Amino acid sequence: MAALLVALGLATGGYFVGHGISERSAGRRIISVKGLSEREVPASVATWTIGYSANGNDLGEINKKLADSTKAVTAFLKEAGFAEADLAVQPPSLEDTTMEVREKDVPPPPERYKAYQSVLLRTSKVDLIKPALALASNLMVSGVLLSGKSEPTYIFNQVNEIKPAMIQEATKNARIAAEQFSRDSQTTLGKLRNATQGWFQIENRDAATPERKVVRVVVDVEYEIN
């Protein structure tokens, strides 16, 4: 990884060096280079919303179906290894199909009401998500009518812990690029004039492993050359 970062720093810096020489006051020449630092990290938090529904004409019966589904979902998540403190039952919503706009000759559906509810999981036990997700279809065997998308979201919220080292690494890679230019152009690299940190970017490594993140930062650095 270190070799890759150095190579990326040289490639990125080399491009901008070629386009970044400028004349400044007192005859000083300045070069602008960029340094990249990139790391792959595991997600630190995952959220997963499991939605379910119940249909019918009797509100009391619908409420019972939702309550049973809530118990089944929470039991499933606890059995998968998640703590009760990580679970939050969301308030239900209700639709009355008789209020829907339809064509004149189209009769209303046989079941008047559609009710929806969900359980929200937020956990630091990211490694337990995928095994639980693979077993989620078992909820239907328990009578849970799953609804909506049920895809977990993975978050990396520990940037501050790796930020100093990544900025240092990016700055080092920028200097490597500047030194390479200095050798190629037979000049002497002078003192650091200015350094600007870019935004930290966090992306999924790929579509198949959203629980793995790639963190990047680029710094812009200016050096004098003699």
Closest residue by Cα to residue 188 from 175, 199, 179, 177: 179
pLDDT at 25 over 50: no
Higher-confidence residue of 190 and 159: namely 159
Nearest-angstrom CA–CA distance, 32 and 169: 17
Closest residue by Cα to residue 219 from 165, 161, 173: 173
Regarding whether 89 and 37 lie in a shared domain, the answer is no
Per residue in 166-219, pLDDT (tens digit) is 999 999 999 999 999 888 888 888 888 888 888 899 999 999 999 999 999 999
Regarding whether 126 and 63 lie in a shared domain, the answer is yes
CA 4 to chain centre: 23
Regarding whether 61 and 87 lie in a shared domain, the answer is yes
The total of other beta-carbon atoms located within 10 Å of residue 175's CB is 18
Instruction: State the burial class of residue 151 (Cβ atoms within 10 Å of its Cβ: 0-12, 13-18, 19+).
Output: exposed
Average pLDDT value for the chain: 87
Contact call for residues 159 and 216 (beta carbons, < 8 A): no
pLDDT at 9 over 80: no
Q: How large is the average pLDDT for residues 11-18?
A: 38
pLDDT confidence of residue 195: 87
Percentage of the chain beyond pLDDT 70 is 88
Reported confidence tier of residue 221, pLDDT bands at 50, 70, 90: very high
Q: Which domain holds residue 211?
A: 2-42+157-225
Reported confidence tier of residue 148, pLDDT bands at 50, 70, 90: confident
pLDDT at 89 over 90: yes
- Domain end call among 121, 155, 189: 155
Nearest-angstrom CA–CA distance, 109 and 126: 41
CATH number of the domain to which 119 belongs: 3.30.70.2970
Number of domains in the chain: 2
pLDDT confidence of residue 137: 92
- Domain end call among 137, 155, 173: 155
Regarding whether 102 and 177 lie in a shared domain, the answer is no
Per residue in 121-136, pLDDT (tens digit) is 999 999 999 999 999 9
Regarding whether 80 and 145 lie in a shared domain, the answer is yes
Regarding whether 113 and 65 lie in a shared domain, the answer is yes
pLDDT confidence of residue 69: 97
Closest residue by Cα to residue 117 from 148, 86, 83: 148
- Domain end call among 155, 183, 217: 155
pTM score, whole prediction = 0.78
Regarding whether 146 and 57 lie in a shared domain, the answer is yes
Sequence letter at residue 31: I
Regarding whether 129 and 218 lie in a shared domain, the answer is no
Per residue in 29-68, pLDDT (tens digit) is 888 999 999 999 999 999 999 999 999 999 999 999 999 9
Regarding whether 19 and 51 lie in a shared domain, the answer is no
Higher-confidence residue of 212 and 23: namely 212
Regarding whether 51 and 88 lie in a shared domain, the answer is yes
Regarding whether 97 and 146 lie in a shared domain, the answer is yes
CATH number of the domain to which 35 belongs: 3.30.110.170
Return the structure tokens found at 132.
């639980």
